[in-house]
Amino acid sequence: MNGQQNLFETETRAPETEKILLYALGEFQSRGKVLAERELPLDRLRGAFKRACEKYGVEEFSDDKLAENLEKLGARVKQVPSFVAKHPFRITVSTAIAERGKQFYLVKMNEFDQ
């Protein structure tokens, strides 16, 4: 029975991944950094993803998991050789996704503050 509960918990948490990513993208922009239509090394975004995971109380995502889920969200992800970068991905977020992240972050900040 415990195995089933874990399975359902995993399925329930899957939609949370998108919320965590959007929160992180919005948080990154709230620090005055330009996100939309720029190719950024994953290193530059890792801090925002780490803070978002902490905020939601989930384990930090691996580089591969981040890249996979960012692609699902609609970002362009390019893998570079591991000898080029410690976190071997380059991420480009469209203006629309960046705006979704910004709006999501603002809503969540209001919810967390209350």
In a domain, 26, yes or no: no
| Mean pLDDT in residue range 16-26 | 96
In a domain, 42, yes or no: yes
In a domain, 1, yes or no: no
Domain that holds residue 56: 35-114
State how far the Cα of 78 lies from the Cα of 108, in Å rounded to an integer.
29
> Per residue in 63-95, pLDDT tens?
999 999 999 999 999 999 888 778 899 999 999
In a domain, 15, yes or no: no
Instruction: Give the total number of structural domains in the chain.
Output: 1
Q: Which of 7-11, 90-94, 107-111 has the highest mean pLDDT?
A: 90-94
Task: Identify residue 97 by its one-letter amino acid code.
Answer: I
In a domain, 30, yes or no: no
Helix (H) or strand (E) holding 92: strand 89-92
| Mean pLDDT in residue range 45-66 | 95
Indicate the pTM of the whole model: 0.83
In a domain, 23, yes or no: no
> 8 or 104: which carries more pLDDT confidence?
104
